[in-house]
Amino acid sequence: MDPIAALEEIAFLLERDRASAFKSKAFRKAAGIIGDVPAAELAERVRDGRLKRTAGIGDTTFAVIADAVEGRVPAYLVALREKSGPVSGAASTGLRAKVRGDLHSHTDWSDGTTPISTMARAAELVGLDYLVISDHSPNLTIANGLSAERLLDQLDVLDRLNADGGIRLLSGIEVDILLDGSLDQSPEMLDRLDVVVASVHSKLRTESKELTERMLRAVRTPRTNVLGHCTGRLVEGSRGTRPQSTFDAEAVFAACAEHDVAVEINSRPERQDPPDDLIAIALEAGCRFSIDSDAHAPGHFAFLELGAARAEANGVPAERIVNTWPAEQLVEWAAQR
């Protein structure tokens, strides 16, 4: 087995299982360390003990690499596959199989754990045709949100990666909806991006009328394409739980329908946002939807299965879901705003 593929699959499964990021990072780091070492040289280093003494290679990662080099599926991977189940990709059935892209993902430019290229490879692995890189905006300092300058640098990187081939990368942002409902990036900058996801990340407990006004202003702002995780609730997971925010869902979703802003079905197991009753209101209002992973690590693309299952269970038709469209159609739709 290819040792890099083994290390990356282990990392993917750990991320999907939401194990500590410390663990998955060790495997990704090891993959990076041996990335440029030719196979024969790597085998030599395993045999003569040099690899074991290499900084960044621990006992566990060494055992995985040694197993793979010696032609075995590493024991660690065998055990993890048994516990966690296989990496399923394009073979999925139902609505998930119709999802062609993901409009919401993070990289190590903000609070994601891996470089853009690693996220791109993983998105391809799960069968996507396109991926929007939507790192955080400046206001979210805790997540290392991107200044306009850094975002411009990121656009150059996306151009270079797209020129190299592989999955199509679209530019984007998860822009904070500020307290007054304005967006946390200049209109000129937002204009340069393919897709704009706007989300509330602060003062989630604001009383309903004020929060409704704040969200309405963001939805009406030209360039907003997707309303991200609209209630901000957390239903499980290591960050604990958080109740959903309260706002006038009829009014906000009516504005989404009027301005053709898609309501995000956030696939993260700890978010499951919006709740079922709000999906019903958005459906009734005539909204479009996007099923997004909100991935912060490659393994999180597997969450799309969960988001698609929720959309399906709530009777959201595929034609109302913008990321079932081909990239061209999606980009054209987003540009109309």
CA–CA distance from 258 to each of 101, 172, 221, 262, 284 (Å)? 24, 22, 12, 10, 13
Answer for the pair 215, 209: CB distance below 8 angstroms, yes or no. no
Strand ranges across the sheet with 168-176: 101-102, 130-133, 168-176, 195-199, 226-227, 262-266, 289-292
Of 323, 240, 293, residue with least CA distance to 15: 293
| Nearer Cβ to Zn ion (67/270) | 270
Torsion of CA 217, 223, 226, 229, to 10 degrees: -50
Residue 277 DSSP class:
H
Q: How far is the CB of 89 from Zn ion (least distance, A)?
A: 22
**Contact between 199 and Zn ion (CB under 5 A)?**
yes
Q: How far is the CB of 320 from Zn ion (least distance, A)?
A: 22
Choose the stretch contacting Zn ion; rule: CB under 5 A; options: 37-45, 138-146, 174-182, 185-193: 174-182
Q: How far is the CB of 247 from Zn ion (least distance, A)?
A: 16
- C-alpha to C-alpha distance for 63 and 75, rounded to whole angstroms: 8
Q: How far is the CB of 211 from Zn ion (least distance, A)?
A: 16
Answer for the pair 232, 245: CB distance below 8 angstroms, yes or no. yes
| Nearer Cβ to Zn ion (124/294) | 294
| Nearer Cβ to Zn ion (124/174) | 174
Q: How far is the CB of 33 from Zn ion (least distance, A)?
A: 29
Q: How far is the CB of 134 from Zn ion (least distance, A)?
A: 7
**Contact between 270 and Zn ion (CB under 5 A)?**
no
| Nearer Cβ to Zn ion (199/225) | 199
| Nearer Cβ to Zn ion (127/232) | 232
- Name which of residues 283 to 302 contact Zn ion (CB under 5 A): 294
Answer for the pair 119, 112: CB distance below 8 angstroms, yes or no. yes
What would the x/- binding string for Zn ion be over residues 95 to 134, using CB under 5 A?
----------------------------------------
Q: How far is the CB of 40 from Zn ion (least distance, A)?
A: 43
What would the x/- binding string for Zn ion be over residues 241 to 260, using CB under 5 A?
--------------------
| Nearer Cβ to Zn ion (113/199) | 199
Choose the stretch contacting Zn ion; rule: CB under 5 A; options: 7-15, 197-205, 268-276, 320-328: 197-205
CA–CA distance from 6 to each of 2, 24, 85, 121, 126 (Å)? 6, 12, 15, 15, 16
Q: Which residues contact 146 (CB under 8 A, 6 or more apart)?
A: 109, 110, 135, 136, 137, 138, 154, 173
Q: How far is the CB of 196 from Zn ion (least distance, A)?
A: 13
| Nearer Cβ to Zn ion (69/143) | 143
**Contact between 174 and Zn ion (CB under 5 A)?**
yes
CA triplet 10, 15, 21: central angle to 5 degrees? 105
| Nearer Cβ to Zn ion (139/221) | 139
- C-alpha to C-alpha distance for 275 and 263, rounded to whole angstroms: 12
Contact residues toward Zn ion (CB under 5 A) are 174, 199, 294
